[in-house]
Structure formats: C-alpha cells, structure tokens
A and B are shown apart, each in its own frame.
Chain A
Amino acid sequence: MTAIQETQVEGLIRLSSLGFAFNPFERLEASNDPYIADCLIGHEMFTVAWETAPAAIFAPAGGGKTAMRIYTLRACWLSNSKRRKFPVSYDLPLFASPADLTCLEAHQLGLAAAAATDLLLACASRPSLYLDLSLPRRLHLLSLLQTALPASLKYALDLLAESADPRLLSDRLDRTYLLPEPALPEAVRAFCAAAQRDLEDASADLWENAALFEALLAFIFEDLSFESVLILLDGVDGSGFRAGELQAQFDLIAPLLNHAPAWAERQIYLKAFLPIELDAYLASQSPIFYQQSLRAEIRWDVPKLAEILRRRVYVASQGRFGSLDALSSPALRDVETLIASRAHPLPREAIAFAGIVLSNYLERGGEYLEPEDIAKAEEQYPRRSVFPD
C-alpha cells in the first residue's frame, strides 16, 4: 500500500487542508513507519553505534532502539568514508522463530537470511554493486541469494522489474532496510534484466548454515570490498512473549554475544540494540562481552523529544512548516515542548500524545489548535495508555 493510500485510508482529508501530506503522529513504531527515514534525528549515542567495535545500546521500549538502528544502517550507506561498512540488519523475529534460536548455528541461518536480504536490497538500490561484478561472481551471488533469501528470488526480481521501485521490495523483505537516494528506475530495471538473465545459469547450491553465512560475508568483504560489517541486532523482545523474561531474552542472544569478540577480530562488529532491562543482567551474565564492548543508553529529554515532534511536522507538511505553532492560536507557543513535557519521556509516548492533541483539534473543527486540545489530551492520554507496573 502506498503512502498516499494510507493517508486516504486514515480519512483525515482535513489534514491535507492544513498542509499535511500524512498524519505526522500516526506511526508509533519505527519499524513500520514508511517515513521513518526522513523523520530521524541525530543522537549523541550514535557514535557508539558507529565505532568499529562491538557495542550494546540500551533503551526502554519505545525509546528509539529501532530508530537508532535504522539511522545507523542509513549512515553506512551515506558515508563517504573509504572504510566502508556493510550493515546487516538482524531483526530477530523477522528472520527466525525465537524458539529455534538455541545455538550459534541457528543464528547463522537467520544471519544468512538477513545478509542475503540486505545484499539484494542493496543491489536494487545501488545497481552498480551488481552490474560491476564479473559474470562468475554474479552467478555466485545469485546462488547464495537463492539459498539464503527467505523469499523467492525469482519472484522478487519479477516484482522489482515490474515496479522498478526498491521500496516495494524492501516493503516485503525488510521494510527498515531503506537505502538513501535509491537508483533511478532505468538503473533498477537494468539490474533486474541482468539478474533475471543470469539467474537462469545460477545454481542453487546446498550450504551448511555457518558456511552459507561465511560465504555471504566473504562476498561482502572480497567482492564488494567493504572494510567491515556491522551486525545490527534488534527485536530481542520483539515477539512480545518474552517481555520481562530476562533469562529467556539473554538465552536468545547469548550465542551472538559469546561470538562477538571472535567476529570483532575479523572486522565484523555486533551492535546489539537491547531493552534497558537487560543492561544489568548482561553485566553479570556476559561479563566478557560487557567488558570488551562499548555501552550506551539512549536517553531523552524534553528538548530532544520536542525536536522529534517538530521534525515529523516538518516532514509531514513537506517542509511547509516546522512546528505546530503554525496552526496554533496566539495563546499557544512552542507546542511541541508543551506536549513533550506532558508525556512520558519516550519518543513513542510523545508522538502518541501529540497524535491525541492533533486528533482533538481535528475533531473539534476549530480554526486554530487551542490550549483546550492539549488539556483534553492530558485527560485522554492516561485512559488510552496501559503502562506496565
């Protein structure tokens, strides 16, 4: 479904009369926000995600872990540095059933699926990555993709050929893996034509899980000349069933943490975006990883949260205005700060609160956003929230 359709579905035609192309506060989850790439703001903890070292980056639920992961993977593709980093986006629930992840080999299957997905999406957005390869190396890549991709490669290429839009492919395979500045449709079609033609000659080899992931890594390092690989681990509590079960969460990722030092020696860096509850637990249960890796905690204050809200207003209004102040009566100033100071200090909560304010304003049908819209939201916010003890 396109973003335009979603706006229509929302039924908020009034939004467009205010100058919005979409509801800036509809999506509360970075992983399913089609506009997340444009709505990201910088955070000082990004340096930890960017360093060539293993790292654990903690935040509470709704605290911006996934947004930081997406910010990092986009940074990899934006960077002009010669020391190029290939991001492997390993969102656990997307690539494996948590129940199956009992050992490193099981993770390697998931990692292979993630790496294959990311390689295909990278080629779709940067066709030269594929087109500059020699034919034998192309066939090798296609063989790897056929085996590791958690979807039909042929169908994916057909779909891409028909749409010439890498976002459609990303939407199916990993919607967070959106490369900045994707290629023009002609270039995408050229990649598809070449890959569809080559695919007829590619063999579907049988690989062991570990060997498959290693082969993909080797391809990234040797054929594509990336200097390092960042494994961006996310979704540890994503299934939801294990929320609060620290031992279960730890068991899920222990094989990865244990292997992180060995990976680091080969310029493969585990960047674990983890729920804050795991912080102390990890220190006691995985002291080696904890000592040998960087640690960061994503924290938010009112000015930073207000900046998130303003950024979303700016993107949704397509640059027409950068604050809800533009829609507000003179009685209101710096609306985003007012909102951010009333919600729980997390991005998701600030966005949710702002969504209620905007909805009140739209339902009231007044000319300007008024203090009463915020006051009413203050009453509604606890009723429309369920906070864990």
Chain B
Amino acid sequence: MTSPSFSSPLDLFDTLRAEDETAWLGQVFLPPPGFDTMRGMRSVIVFGEEGSGKTALRLRLIEAAREMPGGAAPLVVEWQAGVQEEAEGEAFVKRFVDEILDLTAQTLASHLVRQPERFTQAARFAQEGLVWLIHHCLRTDKELLLMRLESEGTAEGMACLSEILNRTPRTLVPPNATYPRQVTEVVRTLGAAGFGGLWVMMDGLDAWLTLEAAALGKMLTALFSSLTLFDIPGFTVKVMAPLRMKNQVSTATGLTRRRFEIFELSWPAETLRALCERRLALAMGREAFGFADLSLDTDLLPWLEKYGGAAPRGWLEFLRPFLDAYLAQPQPRPLTPEATADLRRRFPPRLRMDAALKNVFLGHFPVQGLSESSLSLLRYLYTHPERACDKEELYYRGLRGLERAPRVVSDPGWEDPKTIEGVMDTALWRLRQGVEPDPKQPIYIVSQRGKGIVRLENTW
C-alpha cells in the first residue's frame, strides 16, 4: 500500500466523508456485492442508509469509468439535486435534460482543454459533432467558461476550445427536436469522438430528503418514469439514493419496468471487517493491520458487529477511540482485553430514539422487546429538556401520563411515595434489562444515589 500524505493516522478516521477522502479512498475501498453490475452500462439506483458508503461508491464508480479498457471511458457528469418550482412531470424532466446538456458541454470543454487531441485527431464528422454539441448544449456564458478553464488546460487545449467556440455549428437536430432525440445525438456524438457513452452521477440527495422530501420524491419519480431517456443506449444514470426514498419513488415506471438496476447497499460483516482493517493498515503505514493487532479482546468484533450496524461509517466511528488509545501507548502493542472493555464502557454507542419516538437505537443496533412502560419512561426522559428528573416526576408524568405531578394528598392522582418507589424500582430495572449492556453498571439510565434523580446519559 502506498502512503498518502496525512498528518496523523487518526486523519483516516476523522470526518468519514468520502468527499474528504478522495486522495486515498481508492486504496481502502472494497466493492459491495453487485459492484460489477453497478459499474456496467445500465442505469442503477443504489439505495442506502446515511453512512452506508454511497458517496464512496459514487467516487469509485467514477474512477472505474476512467479505467475502462480500450479508451472507451464514458464522459461523466455530476448532477446536483435542487428542488425547483414547477418541478413535476415532464416539465421537470425537460429541465433536468437541459441541465444535463449544459453539464455535458462544460465537462466536454474541460476535457478538451486538457486533451485537445480528442478533437484534433477525431474524424471530420466527429469534429463537426463536437462543435455542434458544445454550441447546442452550452447554457453557460462562453467567455466565462474560457476564463474558468484557463487554469485547467494547456495552451493548445485553450486554442482548440476557442476555435470550437468560434466556429459556426451545423444543425444536427432541429431546434424543436424531442429531448430523447437531442440526448441520443449527444451520446452518439460523444461515441464518435471515442467516449464510451455519457454517465450522469446523482448523489447528495439525503440533505434534500430532510428538507423537501415530498417535492424531491415527485421530481425523481417523474425523472425515473422517463422511459425514453433511459432507453437511449450509452446514456446511463447512476443514482445514490437514501433508503427512505425507495418507497417514494417505487411507482416510477423506470423502476417497475427495469430501466434501472436496483440495489440496496448492504455490507456483510466480513467485508466491513476487511474494510476497517484496510483503513487501519493504511493509517499505520503497514501492509496489513488486523483487529488482532489493535486489541486482544475477542469481544471487540462482535461488539462492532452489533452496534456498528451494516454500514462502514458506524464501524469506523466506533473504531476511532480504540485507535486513539492504541496510538497513545508509549510502545505500540495490542490493547489488553481489560483496556478494550474499559474503552467500550467509556465510549459506548449512543442511545437515540427515532423521530416518532417509537424505536430505540444503541448506535446502529435497534433495541427490541421493550415494554410499553419502558418505552414511556424512555420517551419522557429523552424529550425532557435536561434528560433528567426525579423519580416521582418520572412516575407521574412518564409512566402515568399525567400533565403534572400531584404534590399533596388532596391533588388528584396522588399516590403513596412508598408505592411509587417500589413501582419505579421495578420499572427502571426492567428498562435497564432491555437497554443496558450490563444492567448492574448502567451507562444509559443512571440513578444519582441519595437524590432520587434519574438521568439519561450517552445519548444523541
């Protein structure tokens, strides 16, 4: 493995955002199941949870596109989602195509200023086609484009692009041609110039899903229903979509009629383990660095598997404190089982409830089998501004669901404090049995002895 430049091994476990890891991501990437199909010429939608590695996959697919044998690499454009007004049905698809054509012209221009021979050595009709493509598809100001590309290209490349922009293009398709015909002509023109088609990469939808879920769903359903677009050979769309979106776009005819290959990004535990070990090895500058080199604790892997979930980010996040501790030692050696267990306790997976306050997670692990009483207690604590209250408040408001806790015997709902004490002890015992890794040493539902306060800790 080559050593890329980073200041500390921990840098490889820092942001855990593929966008920040492009310099070395290729060295630690492992293909998910179905990767060969994903990198093929069919359009693909890969659904995945946040942190499941969608962006890493996108970046790897772009690299894979460049590695096509025989110089048949497709031209790759990256489309950024943005919710627009009047963005439904065919209107949105037309806008999408318009944006794709512009991006194609810009990307092609950027390519030509670096590799002008693609144009200068092309057949005459291919040259004519490229001139047409740039003139027909470019929506951006030509002079601005030239200025922007000046730093990217060679002098020969800039001259080539200037010449293209100054030429009078032929009309290859009528101005009122249907958009499938325009895209077909663009793809064929790229093919004539030696490109292996046109790939459109779509990513970053998670952010929009939070803000504009319904609008985004409508837009993408319209787009994925545009069968004629996806029937154009050489026009390929690779979408990295949040898993939550799957139901929203499932009525799109492009999905029901298989214009897209559908994948759910899931990682087997052995692949996640290998992926972590690769990153550890790169961080340590070693050929190989296994879990056994990091810790002698045989419970570490099962712990990661349980709480890290089926996504790389979960595993990598949880791994960081262990690497931190490993590096802090005067002499690097595997952490002892005791030290590892202590770290697991000090850096436990955080407890969170979903937006509907119905499901409880420890890290990525969904806690199952909690009774309604336990859920009520947890819900009250989780939504409490301080995530802490005394047992009486928790009893009356959390368990009994009263608006406020009675203070004196005459208040409605008042109960004997001794009874409350007994009921709460049992209820908290049950809750801890359901949530705590070690109910005898609770780390989430913590009682402050002598004060009667119950506190929720290690939460998001």
In the complex, A23 Cα to B184 Cα: how many Å? Answer: 23
B173 to chain A, nearest CB (A): 5
Instruction: Tell me the count of chain A residues lying within 8 A, CB to CB, of chain B.
Output: 57
CB < 8 Å neighbour of A348 from B70, B255, B257: B257
Instruction: Tell me the count of chain B residues lying within 8 A, CB to CB, of chain A.
Output: 59
In the complex, A239 Cα to B253 Cα: how many Å? Answer: 9
Interface assignment of B359: CB less than 8 Å from any CB of chain A: no
Interface assignment of B348: CB less than 8 Å from any CB of chain A: no
A388 touches B251 (CB 8 A): yes
B178 touches A363 (CB 8 A): no
In the complex, A26 Cα to B33 Cα: how many Å? Answer: 17
Interface assignment of B356: CB less than 8 Å from any CB of chain A: no
Interface assignment of B125: CB less than 8 Å from any CB of chain A: yes
Within 8 A of B (CB), among A58-73: 61-62
Segment at the interface with A among B149-157, B221-229, B443-451, B452-460: B221-229
Interface assignment of A10: CB less than 8 Å from any CB of chain B: yes
Interface assignment of B191: CB less than 8 Å from any CB of chain A: yes
Kindly list chain A residues whose C-beta atoms are within 8 Å of the C-beta of B180: 93-94
Contact A239:B90 (CB < 8 A) given known A61-B257, A359-B34:
yes
Kindly list chain A residues whose C-beta atoms are within 8 Å of the C-beta of B37: 355, 359
Kindly list chain B residues whose C-beta atoms are within 8 Å of the C-beta of A385: 258, 262
Kindly list chain B residues whose C-beta atoms are within 8 Å of the C-beta of A150: 173-174, 177-178, 181
Q: Scan A28-46; emit 1 where CB is below 8 A from any B CB, else 0.
A: 1101101000000000000
A26 touches B40 (CB 8 A): yes
B225 to chain A, nearest CB (A): 4
Q: Scan A1-44; emit 1 where CB is below 8 A from any B CB, else 0.
A: 10011101111100000000001001011011010000000000
Contact A62:B40 (CB < 8 A) given known A1-B72, A159-B125:
no
Interface assignment of A99: CB less than 8 Å from any CB of chain B: yes
In the complex, A352 Cα to B231 Cα: how many Å? Answer: 16
A11 touches B40 (CB 8 A): yes
Kindly list chain A residues whose C-beta atoms are within 8 Å of the C-beta of B252: 240
B258 touches A28 (CB 8 A): yes
Kindly list chain A residues whose C-beta atoms are within 8 Å of the C-beta of B40: 9-12, 23, 26
In the complex, A332 Cα to B456 Cα: how many Å? Answer: 58
Q: Scan A83-102; emit 1 where CB is below 8 A from any B CB, else 0.
A: 00000000001111111000
Interface assignment of B391: CB less than 8 Å from any CB of chain A: no
CB < 8 Å neighbour of A1 from B33, B225, B234, B264: B234
B151 to chain A, nearest CB (A): 31
Interface assignment of A322: CB less than 8 Å from any CB of chain B: no
Contact A12:B258 (CB < 8 A) given known A32-B231, A172-B188:
no
Interface assignment of B171: CB less than 8 Å from any CB of chain A: yes
22 contacts between A and B (CB under 8 A): A6-B41, A8-B196, A9-B68, A11-B40, A23-B40, A26-B41, A32-B233, A61-B253, A94-B180, A95-B178, A151-B172, A152-B172, A155-B128, A155-B170, A158-B128, A172-B185, A239-B226, A240-B252, A241-B89, A243-B225, A363-B33, A385-B262
Hey, which bits of chain A sit against chain B, CB under 8 A?
1, 4-6, 8-12, 23, 26, 28-29, 31-32, 34, 61-62, 93-99, 150-152, 154-155, 158-159, 162, 168, 171-172, 175, 235, 237-241, 243, 348-349, 352, 355, 359, 362-363, 383-388
Hey, which bits of chain B sit against chain A, CB under 8 A?
33-34, 36-37, 39-42, 64, 68-70, 72, 74, 89-90, 123-125, 128, 170-174, 177-178, 180-181, 184-185, 188, 191-192, 196-197, 222, 225-228, 231-234, 250-259, 261-264
Q: Which 3 A-B pairs have the closest CB atoms?
A: A240-B225, A240-B253, A93-B228
